[in-house]
Amino acid sequence: MSADPEPSDQQLLERWRAGDKQAGEELLLRYFVSLRSFFLPRLHDEDRVKDLVQDTLLAAVEKRDRLPEGVPFQAYLFGIARNKYRQEVGRRANERQRLDPATESLVSMAV
């Protein structure tokens, strides 16, 4: 007797959209490690990686009904992850451009 094959992403997504929360959890958990592996070598900050994985998964939950027909869930999810990464890079760049009181003074900026 053979075991039932694992449901595809599409099957899980359809069940999730129909109200099966367990199918949604299974689908998201399927990609948790892959998302972590996507972010970690780029950011080298375990805390931010955890935050971005959670942000990505939350966005997938919020947008699950907007997945275009024919687009694989994995591609859609990693598109979200890529956008989250770009936002993080922009946020980090903005933080570096802020005033550093150790090297600049407000007085010198007023001149």
C-alpha distances in angstroms, 79 versus 60, 67, 82, 84?
10, 11, 5, 9
Question: For 23, phi and psi rounded to 5 degrees?
Answer: -65, -40
Instruction: For residue 50, give every residue at least 6 positions away whose Cβ sits within 8 Å of its Cβ, in sequence order, or none.
Output: 36
- Tell me if residue 98 falls in helix, strand or coil: coil
- Residue 95's pLDDT is what? 76
CATH top-level class of 33-94: mainly alpha
d(CA 21, CA 44): 32
Q: How does pLDDT run along the chain (111 residues), one tens digit per residue?
A: 556 789 999 999 999 999 999 999 999 999 999 999 999 999 999 999 999 999 999 999 999 999 888 899 999 999 999 999 999 999 888 877 665 566 555 454 444
Q: Where are the domains of the chain?
A: 33-94
- Residue 10's pLDDT is what? 94
Residue type for 30, please?
A: R
